Amino acid sequence: MALVTAAVVVLDCAEPEKLAYFYRQLLDGEPGDTSTGHVEVRRADGIRIAFRRDGVSTPASWPRPENSLQSHLVFLVDDMDEAERRVVGLGGLPTETRDPTGPYEERGYSDPAGHPFTLRPALPTAG
């Protein structure tokens, strides 16, 4: 039996309900467990992310060098352009885009609360 059965990333933010809505729409998720005091989003495939209220939360300044990147999320997507339209339509902001295409293309964004994340193309599975 595995000692750890699940992991949940928890992001601090000033307005967890609003940020949960952003990620619920981005991930096609559903509201999750709130018994811990966090606002959670979960998907049927087991992906879970939660948000904790922090009244003094400030956005990260990444990718600016004066504030190092402590952590960020990476989402693998089938269609980079469609994913970008969804992110921006939900209130996310582009922070870094790269011109080259191919399996190493990635685009950086911040969510409405300023947390950094990256979109990368999902690589096709062999078979």
Per-residue model confidence as pLDDT tens for the chain (127 residues): 665 567 788 888 889 999 999 999 999 999 987 777 889 999 999 889 999 898 887 777 666 666 555 677 888 888 889 999 999 999 999 987 665 555 567 888 999 998 888 888 887 655 5
Asked if residue 114 belongs to a domain, the reply is: yes
Indicate whether 2 belongs to any domain: no
Within this chain, do residues 25 and 45 fall inside the same structural domain, yes or no? yes
Domain that holds residue 73: 60-127
Give one word for 114, left, alpha or beta, with left for phi > 0 and alpha for psi -120 to 50: left
